[in-house]
């Protein structure tokens, strides 16, 4: 138990870095055209139901501007135990599916695997999923990294770091509609645009 407690902050830090890395890399302009412009503004507060869901997990939570958890960790243990899955990715998906209302998602089918990084000398993984509803990548983030540890025949979830925005259907279900412009195609955002006169 002591070893797990000392390991949790390390995995939580790794999850944060892994989540932030691709998001920052996505802002680097690699093709000609106008730079990407993020016109999202304002702040969406988490609902009472979301706060209750976060408390039920027993972790410390911070919220992002979209009203979803930016970080979720239990320094003294784990957020969930006995999570089933043939792989770390399956376990991460199972956790997200069970807690999709916390992340204001109507479904997890739009989450695609970006990476599964195993930590050295221990069966722990930082699994990063990317929002791609309808095959369209979320703009300005849309990533969630779930830290999982293999324990026997199941998995423990020890941390979650995310920059996800709610899906439009998920926001409406939570009672706070969200513009579809929160999602944008990365391929279109860097395409050359005609000059305005």
Q: What φ, ψ does residue 178 adopt, rounded to 5°?
A: -130, 135
How buried is 101 (Cβ within 10 angstroms: 0-12 exposed, 13-18 middle, 19+ buried)? middle
**Could you tell me which of 172, 124, 140 has the C-alpha nearest to residue 3?**
124
In this prediction, the residues of the chain whose per-residue pLDDT falls under 50 are 4, 6, 13, 19-30, 170-197
In the numeric block, which tokens belong to residue 58?
A: 């027993």
Domain coverage including residue 147:
2-24+61-176
In the prediction, which pLDDT does 140 show? Answer: 64
Q: Is residue 42 one of the residues assigned to a domain?
A: no
**How does pLDDT run across 86-103, given as a tens digit for each residue?**
999 999 999 999 999 999
Q: Is residue 168 part of a domain?
A: yes
Domain assignment present for 157: yes
98 φ, ψ (degrees, to nearest 5):
-65, -35
Number of domains in the chain: 1
Within-domain flag for 85: yes
Instruction: Give the pLDDT score at 192.
Output: 40
Cα–Cα distance, 162 to 142 (Å, whole number): 7
Does residue 197 form part of some domain?
Answer: no
**pLDDT score recorded for residue 141:** 74
- In angstroms, the CA 67 to CA 64 distance is 6
The pLDDT assigned to 35 comes to: 65
Whether residue 53 lies inside any domain: the answer is no
Closest CA to 142 of 152, 132, 157, 134: 132
What gap in Å lies between CA 50 and CA 60, rounded to an integer? 13
**Is 137 a domain residue?**
yes
The answer to the question of residue 75 being in a domain is yes
d(CA 81, CA 98): 12
């Amino acid at each position: 138990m002591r070893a797990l407690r000392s390991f949790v902050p390390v995995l939580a830090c790794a999850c944060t870095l892994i989540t932030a890395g691709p998001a920052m890399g996505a802002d680097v302009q690699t093709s000609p055209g106008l730079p990407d412009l993020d016109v999202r503004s304002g702040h969406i507060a988490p609902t009472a139901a979301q706060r209750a869901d976060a408390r039920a997990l027993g972790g410390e939570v911070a919220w992002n501007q979209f009203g979803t958890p930016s970080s979720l960790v239990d320094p003294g243990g784990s957020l969930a135990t006995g999570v089933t899955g043939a792989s770390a990715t399956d376990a991460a998906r199972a956790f997200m599916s069970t807690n999709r209302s916390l992340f204001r998602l109507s479904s997890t089918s739009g989450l695609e695997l970006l990476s599964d990084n195993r930590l050295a000398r221990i069966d722990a993984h930082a699994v990063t999923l990317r929002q791609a509803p309808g095959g369209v990548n979320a703009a300005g983030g849309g990533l969630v990294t779930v830290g999982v540890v293999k324990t026997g025949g199941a998995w423990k979830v020890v941390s979650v770091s995310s920059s996800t925005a709610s899906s439009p259907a998920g926001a409406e279900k939570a009672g706070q509609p969200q513009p579809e412009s929160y999602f944008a195609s990365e391929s279109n955002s860097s395409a050359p645009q005609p000059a305005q006169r």
